[in-house]
Structures are given as structure tokens and as C-alpha cells.
A and B are shown apart, each in its own frame.
Chain A
Amino acid sequence: MLVRIADSLYWMARYIERANSITRLLKINYAAALDSQVEKINWSHILSLTVDLPPEDVQNIQVNYTQVVNHILTSKENSNSLYNVISYARNNARTAQDQITREIWRSINDLYLFISSNKMNQFIAKNEILELFEELIKLITIYYGNLNITMPRNDSFSYINMGKFVERSLQTINLFNNKYNEINFNLQAHNDILFWKHLLLSVSGYEFFLKNSSQELNTIDVANMILFNEAFPHSLTFSVKTMMFEFERLHVHSDKTDHENLYFNIGKLYSQLRYTKIEHLSPVDFKNLCHDFAQNLNNIVLEYQHKYLNYL
């Protein structure tokens, strides 16, 4: 496969995963806001994850609900708006159209047609925001369904999977760090049940938690699940393990030095995740550990893109 096409498949998958993550995050937080009062919701946490603006601008727009929706959903200026993220995904899919199945192309094209149509504005104008998120999640789920049932398990699929889990791991650790920052990484903190419920819902893990934990929602169990549970598909460990598997499958025969270095770094991160116990960590140590995970992950991703997807 062409390196340029591999790059397009990787980024297509990253952008769709980003769209998925942003949509679910917005839906949960918007629904949560309806339980209290919309005016009181603190959008700054969501904006900081989804808008590429300096903090002072985030503070300025977060008080205006219409501006928030516009910036996150339809803005052409915000490179992380859903409109832009889905447009980028489609451009990459279009470039790699001959390497993906027709069903996958159609599902991404349908997603793009929806986000660029008047239907979006109609949902916003009628204030049917939850309906809008449901529709988007449905379209994204169709993409994932098509990916799973129509795509041959070849190199193209592995690059798509690589992109998907790179993005998912970055989204998970960023969301996690953002949320734990609100309690200063204090694992003994007792917080509102809804605080943890919303975090779990944002990573599609609430039901998993209920089924797999006999305990009530608490800081340590939630952290253990999101960071380390190998059976939970949105955990950091699950994503890193999948990245390691796809990396080895794709690049085992490539340049030995590059391959060995990067494989070592991914393996090291996986081992850190696999053999870390957090129960007795102080807030400072836990914060450092989480920041280390994020930093190591970022370094791996940048090195991977530079060594294996650089076609110029």
C-alpha cells in the first residue's frame, strides 16, 4: 500500500473516532445539564477538550450557549468542530477510496452530508439538541458496523485500527486527566455520584462499571477501570495493547532499528499500565503518573507518524 494512503486511512479513522468522542461527550454533558439548569452548566471543561481557543477566549464564549453550540458543532474556524472533524475524515476517506469498502465510504459520506446539511441547523433552531446527537451517534455507529462487517482484515484495516486506537487512547487520557484535575488527583476524594457517572457515560463505560464492580461509584474503581481494565474497550490499556498488536502486524518486517525502538516504547508504556497499582498513591504521585502516561503516549504517536506515515 502507498504510504500516503496509509496516512489517509490512519487519519480518517482518527477523525471519526474524534467525532465519536466529541459527540458522546457533548450528549452526556448536555443531558446532564437538563437535570439541573442549562444556564449553570460549566462548558469550559468541554470547550477546553473540543475547541482550539486560548483559555481566555474559552471563558468568554462559555457563557453564551449559542456560541458554545456553534463553536463545537458547526464552526468552520474551530478545527476541532464536528463539522471540520467530519470533513477531514471524509477528505481522507475520499483520498483512500479505493482501499476502503464502498459501504464504509458511503457511511462517512452520509455523515458528512448530514453535518453539512440544513438538518443540523434545523435541529439547533428547534433546540432538539439531544435528537441531533442521537442522529450523529447513529450515523457513526453505522460506520463502525460497516467497518467491522465489510472490511477485509488486511493492512488497510490495521492502519484504520491504529488510527482509531491512537485517537481513543489520547481522548481517554485527556478526558481522564481533565476530570481528575477537578479533584486535584486525590484518590481519597468523595465526590458526587453524578460526577463519576457522567465520566463513565462519556467513555461508554457506565454499564460496564455496574456489571463489573460490586462497589458503589468511587474514585479508585473508576480510575482503575478507565486506565487499566483490559476488557473495557475504552480503557487506556486496551487501546495501547491494540496499538501494540497492530504495530507489530504492520511493521514487523520494516527497518529494524525504527521498529525495535518504537516497539520497545509502546511495550514499555503497556507494561507501566499493566503493572501499576494506584490505591496508595499520593495526589502528587498520581498526578505525575497520569501526566507521564499522557506524555509517553504523545511521544509514541508523534514518532509513529514521523517514521511510518511520512510520505513526502
Chain B
Amino acid sequence: MFDYIPESNLFDEFFLSNGQVRPQNALLHSFLKNLTIEDLKEKESLSKNIFISNGITFTVYSEKEGIEKIFPFDIIPRIITASEWYNIEKGIKQRIKALNCFLQDIYHEQQILNDKIIPAKLIYSCPNFIREMIGVHLHNQNYITIAGIDLIRDNDGEFYVLEDNLRTPSGVSYMIENREVSKRIYSDLMKSIKVLPVNAYANILYSQLAAYSTRKSSKPTIVLLTPGIFNSAYYEHSFLARFMGIELVESKDLIIDNNAVFMKTTHGLKQVDVIYKRVDDEFLDPLVFRKDSVLGIPGIFSAFKKGNVALVNAIGNGVADDKAIYPYVPEMIKYYLNETPILKNIPTYCLENESERDHVFKNITKMVLKQANGSGGYGMLMGNKSSDLEIEEYKLKVIQEPRNYIAQPIINLSSTPCLINDRFQPRRVDLRPFVINGLKEINIVPGGLTRVALKEGSLVVNSSQGGGSKDTWIIDTH
């Protein structure tokens, strides 16, 4: 372990800059110190076997064969103190409240536009602003119920929000599975470290979804709508359905009758009250959105508008997690809640703005450019890692559609030790806590998914781009 050299000029999650172990890692450090490399390799191999045997996989779209992959898991947990966590928790709750208010406002009165806090043009040019949702009243539900907020830690040790995921954030099953693996490979250590539990997630989610049912019924019918077994997150869909005890449905299992949704069961049709949808909005209803969609259910939008079924998350949330809207979230917090943002944003340049675009182009080697509606690490340009030709090609795309791009200065994600090629090496990490925003309260299970950029020097943590994950332990040191 102790030939580990933290990267210079970076915040290391395990060691202080003077080389001492951070207090929260002391017990883990002593535990690891007593292990041989063979012991560690054995633990690594055990964890791999658990993932393989349980079929805990994700799918990469670009692969032609063997589309299922095991999500790489690094066995060294990442530890965050409870006091740091409570700040994160407070900051995320504040953010979610404001974003939910924003969605309610933007699809109704649009006060925030009238007061010129956000330019109207930015909203109306957003492809995920769903005009059909304007004036639609949500019956007994929130716009945002499930969210994943991506955080990074900069050199100053502070957590910043990298992006909000308010449509269908994935990864929660890995958070829970990672903990199950940790319990097996660190059973001795976990007896002495009090790690806050994450396994109540599915129970909390079920209760919140059940509360959305508008029909008076002792046991509402809740289903999870998946695009099918070839979707990259199918494992997660089946995991959540299993742990909530609900049906995992595909569009062909559902039909609409008299503005209500029914599923085809072996005992006939059964009315559905709540749908946790993992299908993108644009594919949801071919009568309203994309006509060529085979993943949708004709007429479901109408059933939703009538209040006969709750859709989670609500349709149209994409306007709030658009990367061009992201710079305005601190303003939203002030506007809707009259509070100072607890978690900071990363400085972001909207490339539609000519002066900001010029500034970005001049300093492009210090910038990361992203598509405003991109995800999964696709369509990004890391200015410091790209060739002149790649930069020129990217600039052309930006000039053609400036609204669709944003830029941020390259932030140094914090690093932490990972077991790679039989030795400890620093790798960059982020953190995605998972939020459940219910009618009465906001729940965030203590932890989240720590994603790791497994390639040396890389800042891209997405699973589709060679990223892996770690278990995240929130521990109370007092």
C-alpha cells in the first residue's frame, strides 16, 4: 500500500498533503496495512466473481458483440465523513426544491422568465422543454421524484455540483450491490467502522411511489417501465423491480383504455396507478411525441394529463437538467427559496453568448466542452487532450449550433487510491448521491455511487467510457 504516491497538486481523498492519513481513513489504513498483496488480490477476485455470477452487468451501445459488461469495481472504499455528508445532503435538498419549483413555474406561470432571471430564448430553444406539458396540472406528484446529482471535489477540498440528472439517473443498483460486496470482503473491518447504511433505498422509493397513487386502494399497482433487456441499464431496472416487489413492464405489456393504463396479466387486465419510467420522454407516447417510437404506449400522455396514472419522473424534466440551464441553478435557489446556495456550481460558459464563446475558444486547452443535452460522457471535448484537428472540428460544430454547447474550465477531480495492476495508484473520482423527493420529505440515502476514471490521468468517469466504481462509506468519526 505504502508505495502509493498521491498525485501532486490534487486533493487526495485518503492522505493529507503532508502525507499523513486523513483521520476518517485511519482504521481502513491499518486494516489494509496488515494485508499482503495476495490477500488483496484474493479480495479483488472474490468481488469480481460475485459480480460475474450475479450477472451484475451494464450494456455498452457501441460494442458489436458481447454487449453485456461487468461494471469494474475497485475494492478500496472511499470514505466521507458524516459532517461533510450532512452539508452535501443539505445542499442537494436545497437544489432539488428549487429545481422542482422551477419546473412547476416553467410549465405554468413562467414568472422566472417574466422577471428575466433566465432568458426565455434559452428555455424555448431547449429540445427537452416539452411544450405539451405547458399548463398540465400534476395530480398528487412532484416533477422530480428521482434524481442523481453529480458532485466533484476540487483542489480546495470543497464539493461542487457538476451536473443534475433529473430524468432517469442510473447507478443506484451499483451503490447497493457495491455495499453488499464490501460486507463480504471487509466483514471484520465493517464491524468496527460504523458505515451508514444504503439498503433502505428501495423501500423508501416504494413508499414515495405508492403515495402518488390517486386511486383509493390499499395496495396501488406500481410498475417499472423498461425499454427491455438490451437497454444499458436493464440490470438496474430488474434490480429495482425485484427489491420493490413491483412488475417490470415493457410497453407491449401496457394498453390504454378510457384514459387509464392497464397491464396484461395472466388474470386479465389490471389498472396501473404509478409508472416509474426508465424510457426517455420522447419515446413515451407515439401519438404525442416521436411517432416512430416502438418503446412507447399510445395514449399514455392523455392518461397522465387526466391524473389516472402518475409518471415518475414527470415528463419534461429535461429542461431543468439541460447543461445550458445549469449555470442558472444558483439564481433559481435565490429566486424561489430566497436562500444562498449551499453547494457551488462550476463556472460554466454558454457558447451561444459570443463573448463567452470567444473566451472559451481562446483558452480551449484549459476547457472541457460538452453538449448541453449530452450524457454518458459522449460528445465531449477535453481541450488539453485533443489534437488541433479535433479541436477545429469541434469548434465548427459549436459555431453551427452554439445553443447546444457549453464549456467549463477543466476541474481537477480529487483522486483516491485504487488497486490497479496489483498496486495502489491514484485515480480521479466523482460522487453521485441518489435523491428521492417525496410529497412530504426529501430522502438521500447516505452514500452514493463513487465513479472512478480507471485510465491513468483521465477525468472521464462514465461507465460507458471505461469508468468503474467504488463503495462510498459515510462514517461518523465522533
A residues sitting closer than 8 Å to B (CB atoms) are: 1-6, 91, 94-95, 97-98, 102, 105-106, 109-110, 113, 155, 250, 253-254, 308, 311-312
Contacts and interface: CB of A to CB of B under 8 A. Distances in A.
Given A97-B248, A98-B246, 4 more contacts: A97-B238, A98-B242, A102-B54, A311-B253
A270 to B, nearest CB: 23
B18 interface: no
Contact of A94 (B53, B55, B246, B263): B55
A106 B54 contact: yes
A311 B55 contact: no
Contacts of A308: 266
Contacts of A113: 52-53
A190 to B, nearest CB: 50
B250 A4 contact: yes
A4 B53 contact: no
B225 to A, nearest CB: 12
A8 to B, nearest CB: 10
A1 B265 contact: yes
B282 interface: no
A109 B52 CA distance: 9
A254 B269 CA distance: 12
Interface string B354-390: 0000000000000000000000000000000000000
Contact of A105 (B55, B248, B249, B263): B55
B26 interface: no
A110 B53 contact: yes
A311 B247 CA distance: 15
Interface in B241-297: 241-242, 246-250, 252-253, 263-267
21 contacts: A2-B249, A2-B266, A3-B264, A3-B265, A4-B252, A4-B253, A4-B264, A94-B55, A94-B234, A94-B238, A95-B229, A97-B238, A98-B238, A98-B241, A98-B246, A102-B242, A106-B53, A109-B55, A110-B53, A113-B52, A254-B266
A257 to B, nearest CB: 15
Contacts of A3: 253, 264-266
A253 B265 contact: no
Interface string B197-235: 000000000000000000000000000000001000010
A249 to B, nearest CB: 12
Which of the listed residues B53, B55, B241, B246 has the most CB atoms from chain A within 10 Å of its own CB? Answer: B55
A250 B266 CA distance: 9
Contacts of B229: 91, 94-95
Nearest to A312: B252
B367 to A, nearest CB: 42
Contacts of A155: 266
B234 A2 contact: no
Contacts of A250: 266
A15 to B, nearest CB: 15
B54 A2 contact: no
Interface of B: 52-55, 229, 234, 238, 241-242, 246-250, 252-253, 263-267
Given A2-B263, A94-B229, A95-B229, A109 B253 contact: no
Nearest to A93: B55
A5 B267 CA distance: 13
Contact of B266 (A6, A91, A95, A312): A6
B249 to A, nearest CB: 6
A2 B242 contact: no
Given A3-B266, A91-B229, A311 B252 contact: yes
B369 to A, nearest CB: 38
Contacts of A97: 238, 242, 248
A113 B54 CA distance: 11
Which of the listed residues B52, B53, B249 has the most CB atoms from chain A within 10 Å of its own CB? Answer: B53
Contacts of A98: 238, 241-242, 246-248
A110 B51 CA distance: 11
Contacts of B238: 94, 97-98
B52 A2 contact: no
A4 B252 CA distance: 9
B54 A1 contact: no
Contacts of A105: 54-55
Contacts of B265: 1-3
A146 B80 CA distance: 39
Contacts of A94: 55, 229, 234, 238
Nearest to B249: A2
A311 B249 CA distance: 12
A110 B238 CA distance: 18
Nearest to B56: A109
A106 B238 CA distance: 14
Contacts of B250: 4
B252 A1 contact: no
B310 to A, nearest CB: 20
Which of the listed residues A4, A6, A250, A308 has the most CB atoms from chain B within 10 Å of its own CB? Answer: A4
Contacts of B55: 94, 105-106, 109
Contacts of A110: 53
B264 A311 contact: yes
B192 to A, nearest CB: 29
The 5 A-B residue pairs with the shortest CB-CB distance in the complex, in nearest-first order:
A97-B238, A98-B242, A98-B241, A109-B55, A2-B253
Given A2-B247, A3-B264, A109 B54 contact: yes
Given A98-B241, A106-B54, A253 B253 contact: no
B148 to A, nearest CB: 22
Nearest to A2: B253
A91 B52 CA distance: 16
A105 B54 CA distance: 8
Contacts of A106: 53-55
A205 B241 CA distance: 41
A109 B263 contact: no
Nearest to A97: B238
B49 to A, nearest CB: 10
A113 B241 CA distance: 24
A262 to B, nearest CB: 15
A123 to B, nearest CB: 20
A250 to B, nearest CB: 7
A97 B246 CA distance: 12
A252 to B, nearest CB: 11
A253 B54 CA distance: 37
A146 B242 CA distance: 18
Contacts of B52: 113
